[in-house]
Amino acid sequence: MSTSLLYHAFGLRDYHFVRNTFREGVVHFAIEHTPGSLRCGHCGSAHVRKAGTVVRHFKSLPIGMHPVSFELPVQRLWCFECCSTLQAKLGFADERVGYTRGFERYALHLLGFATVKDVALHLGVSWDTIKDIQKRNLGRRFGKPRLKDLQRIAIDEICIGSGHRYLTIVLDLDSGAVVYVGDGKGADSLDQFWRRLRASGAKIKAVATDMSPAYGMAIREHLPEAVHMYDRFHVVKLFNDKLSDLRREVHREAEGPLQKKVLKGTRWLLLKNPENLDEQKNERKRLDEALALNKPLATAYYLKEDLRQFWEQPGKPAAEKFLNDWIKRADSSGIRMLKQFALTLAKHRHGLLAYYDYPLTTAALEGTNNKIRTLQRQAYGFRDREFFKLRIYALHETKYALVG
């Protein structure tokens, strides 16, 4: 094997070939530093003196199905410039790793269409080695997301496991990229984000969140100039949760087995949009029977469907008129759940109407949350929290593929 092949096939420069052996299915190449190529590992000076060697082995690109390992007596050097004794700088591998940069690039290429476990099996290394390669690459690319160009963002929390473990996600609504992942939920989880945002000098124009009071206070404190709007998804979701509670209450108070039978199993029918009801399964008929049986449930259902029209108004004045009318109707219904929800909407009137200043939607954020859940299921959870966060930062580059 020639020294030229070391450079052109494996990317090794300033080293020459000594010998090769084949042991236990692995091709071993012995190489040495080229005279005159030695440099101080601290300052890069060539004014050095040899101070012994340390034999190291580096995994490299495989040849066919055979793993390849380079054996190098790494020269220790005493530097006349910085007066330090360190190992010579290596041009083909990073510090504190046992593989070449070519091996790392090949592993990252394979990770584009294979799992960490599959790549580890193919290359004959441990799962942790491939995970660390991916983690280092993600850290270089996404470790500190750029915040300077942020203008429109969405904030939400996601549950990542039992025990009420949460992450707070900040999404750039223009690019679809996650720009911050905080531990926990609520205002405290965003403290580091606000510090980085101030340092970046970004000018945030609009923020979309749910109706959490903690988010509202945090945005008024840190982004007083930004338009704060409440997302349609979270408003409808909150109403659906209240509607489910009302259905349970009605079912408990229903008199006789016939009424209970009609109400049983109608939870998802109440939450479905009317156009999505399946006529072949008699879902429309079952829903009509349940609504005809109980007036409070029917009133709440029809008000829910009417509330969807708030985001379809021709402009902000019409939307404000519609919202005021809906709040009055809900408040005068005499149903405790509707009266409480009407009060909630009245308190958050400004944020709801802000939709017509900046018609934002957090559909991209909900899509990101679904990707995070899929990521967890595929990996059966993540023990390395930092690695998990880096994977979330890279989700906007994820592509779904049909396999079979």
Report whether 387 contacts 379 (CB < 8 A).
no
| Neighbour count for residue 195 (Cβ, 10 Å) | 11
315 pLDDT band (50/70/90 cuts)?
very high
Task: State both tokens at 116.
Answer: 């960490």
pLDDT at position 255 is: 47
Q: Which residues pair with 76 in a beta bridge?
A: 87
pLDDT at position 113 is: 86
Task: State both tokens at 76.
Answer: 């220790």
Q: What is the distance between the alpha carbons of residues 13 and 90, in angstroms, rounded to a whole number?
A: 10
For the chain, the residue count is 404
178 pLDDT band (50/70/90 cuts)?
very high
What's the Rg (C-alpha) of the chain? 31
Residue 350 has pLDDT above 70, yes or no: yes
Q: What is the distance between the alpha carbons of residues 264 and 241, in angstroms, rounded to a whole number?
A: 17
Q: Kindly tell me the burial class for residue 224, based on how many C-beta atoms sit within 10 Å of its own C-beta (0-12, 13-18, 19 or more).
A: exposed
Q: Which residues contact 202 (CB under 8 A, 6 or more apart)?
A: 147, 148, 149, 150, 151
Residue 3 has pLDDT above 80, yes or no: no
pLDDT at position 170 is: 93
Q: Residue 209's closest CA among 184, 195, 226, 192? A: 226
Q: Read off the pLDDT of each residue in 331-351 and give the average, rounded to a whole number.
A: 88
pLDDT at position 316 is: 92
Comparing 193 with 288, the larger pLDDT belongs to 193
Q: Read off the pLDDT of each residue in 288-298 and give the average, rounded to a whole number.
A: 61
Q: Which residues contact 4 (CB under 8 A, 6 or more apart)?
A: none
Comparing 117 with 362, the larger pLDDT belongs to 117
pLDDT at position 241 is: 87
Report whether 74 contacts 56 (CB < 8 A).
yes
* Amino acid present at 373: R
Residue 370 has pLDDT above 50, yes or no: yes
Task: State both tokens at 96.
Answer: 């504190």
Q: What is the distance between the alpha carbons of residues 230 and 258, in angstroms, rounded to a whole number?
A: 41
Q: What is the distance between the alpha carbons of residues 135 and 175, in angstroms, rounded to a whole number?
A: 23
Alpha-carbon dihedral of residues 115, 116, 121, 124, nearest 10 degrees?
Answer: 150
SS3 content of the chain, % helix, strand, coil (to 5): 50, 20, 30
Look over the chain and give the mean of its residue pLDDT values, rounded to a whole number.
82
The rounded percent of the chain whose pLDDT value lies above 70 is 84
pLDDT at position 403 is: 40
Report whether 260 contacts 251 (CB < 8 A).
yes
Kindly give the pairing relationship between strand 206-209 and strand 178-183. unpaired
Top mean pLDDT of 243-252, 286-295, 363-372, 395-404 is at 363-372
* CB environment 85-107: b (16+ within 10 A), e (fewer): bbbbbbebbeeebebbbbbbebb
Three-class DSSP category at 255: coil
Q: What is the distance between the alpha carbons of residues 200 and 189, in angstroms, rounded to a whole number?
A: 19
Residue 399 has pLDDT above 70, yes or no: no
Widest pairwise Cα distance in the chain: 96
Q: Read off the pLDDT of each residue in 89-116 and give the average, rounded to a whole number.
A: 88
Concatenate the DSSP letters of all residues of 151-176 into one string: -EEEEEEEEEETTTEEEEEEEETTT-
Three-class DSSP category at 320: helix
183-193 confidence digits (pLDDT tens): 988 788 999 99
Residue 323 has pLDDT above 90, yes or no: yes
Q: Kindly tell me the burial class for residue 123, based on how many C-beta atoms sit within 10 Å of its own C-beta (0-12, 13-18, 19 or more).
A: buried
235-276 confidence digits (pLDDT tens): 888 888 888 787 777 656 554 444 444 445 554 455 556 566
Residue 342 has pLDDT above 70, yes or no: yes
Residue 142 has pLDDT above 60, yes or no: yes
Q: Which residues contact 312 (CB under 8 A, 6 or more apart)?
A: none
Residue 24 has pLDDT above 80, yes or no: yes
Q: Read off the pLDDT of each residue in 29-45 and give the average, rounded to a whole number.
A: 81
pLDDT at position 139 is: 92
Contacts 24+ apart (CB under 8 A), 219-226: 222/194, 222/197, 222/198
pLDDT at position 333 is: 80
Strands (E), 5-143: 15-23, 26-33, 48-63, 66-79, 85-87
Residue 2 has pLDDT above 70, yes or no: no
* Amino acid present at 256: G
Q: Read off the pLDDT of each residue in 69-85 and give the average, rounded to a whole number.
A: 86
pLDDT at position 92 is: 85
Q: Residue 394's closest CA among 140, 128, 138? A: 138
